[in-house]
A and B are shown apart, each in its own frame.
Chain A
Amino acid sequence: MRRRCGLTLRTFQRAVGLCTAIPILIIAAVSCGRVREQGQHAAVGVAFQFGERIGWLHGACLAISNPNLANGTPVVLVITGEPQKVQQSRIQAQTNSPASCQALMEGRAKVNAKPGMSFYVLETGSIGSTDMGFGIVAPPANPVVVNGQARVDLDQDGRSEVFSSCATSEGIKFAVWTEKAYQGDPRWSGYYYLDYESTPTCP
């Protein structure tokens, strides 16, 4: 936007001279200022970044495509199960240790620790060692469990996001959908490689 304002100014300088340009400069500055203000307002309503703010978890270890989560950052957990459960937690520390993160065990790390993926130990609270689910970094609202399913409008578009997980042949597929699972394209998906086989359950 700044470039467009600058080009407009040069054009007018050539056409009508410096004297005429001065008032135009003032108008242009005011105009650019308005655009900048509008931009600031737009930034307040910035879209929910699903990729950076949702991850999957196994036990108290969160895997997420975000290397910048500070210790103490609040994370809301959706624990898969019937019914799904919602829990509050916080980032305790970033880790690359298989001792604190089952996804980084030998045989799994090569696939799970792909470039861009970070792993965080969560404050344990009531997270069980075999619990699996989703971690949502600072969601705009807390998920509410309705008929056994956690729902929350993450992108504030008036429609709720829901959560699904299922087994593939060698892992677990996690996904976030709008309104209904397995309908349309997922808003976010993640894959947890387990390094052993089981019967797939994904539809």
Chain B
Amino acid sequence: MEVGTTRRSDKRAYLFHWCWLIGLSKAKPSEATTMLGVDIEWNHGDAEKSKKGAKEMIDGFGLAVPPNSTNAPALHSNHIRGKAIDMNVSWTGTIKIKKKDGTEESVLFMGNVNNNTKLHAVGASYGVKKLTTDAPHWSLDGH
């Protein structure tokens, strides 16, 4: 088992969110909220300069800009609340795992963990639910 991400920083999410919106002209710098502990000036006094600065942040953070997307990186999530984990789980062949109720489940390894419903059921018995669109993601509610 290889754990990738657990809790994510809310300050990081704030920076991702607003630089994405301002850099892609989907929000004005004046619309950006402030966040305690993040000392940043979104408004450079000139719309183009503000956009250019935000665009540099998009590039530096490596943020994706899906075509025609209006969905900025999220400000809130289960990761930010500390209620999600991204991990790779792998083994060879079939393993037996105990569910929370003590019953044992034989689970065959599948290359695509999103399809491994038996593994999902084991996780769910402990209150850790699989999001089946994103291979590494598990959380308290599956989102």
Contact = CB atoms under 8 A, between A and B. Distances in A.
Assign chain A's interface to a size class.
Answer: 35 or more
B65 interface: yes
Contact of A193 (B69, B72, B74, B134): B134
Interface stretch (B2-10, B44-52, B102-110): B2-10
Contacts of B62: 58, 102, 105, 108
B135 A110 contact: no
Interface in A82-138: 82, 102, 105, 107-108, 110-111, 114, 129-130, 132
A111 to B, nearest CB: 5
Q: How large is the interface on B (under 10, 10 to 19, 20 to 34, 35 or more residues)?
A: 20 to 34
Interface string B50-74: 0000000011001111111101111
B72 A198 contact: yes
A202 interface: yes
Contacts of A201: 66, 69, 71
A103 B140 CA distance: 27
B74 A197 contact: yes
A200 interface: yes
A198 B74 contact: yes
Nearest to B16: A196
A132 B137 contact: no
A168 B64 CA distance: 12
B94 interface: no
A170 interface: yes
B123 interface: no
25 contacts: A81-B67, A111-B135, A130-B59, A130-B63, A132-B66, A165-B67, A167-B64, A167-B71, A169-B134, A172-B64, A191-B134, A192-B64, A193-B135, A193-B136, A194-B63, A196-B12, A196-B13, A196-B63, A196-B74, A197-B73, A197-B77, A197-B79, A200-B133, A201-B69, A201-B71
Interface of A: 58, 80-82, 102, 105, 107-108, 110-111, 114, 129-130, 132, 165-173, 191-202
Q: What 8 A-B pairs come out closest when comparing CB atoms? A: A102-B62, A81-B67, A199-B71, A168-B133, A197-B77, A197-B74, A130-B65, A170-B134
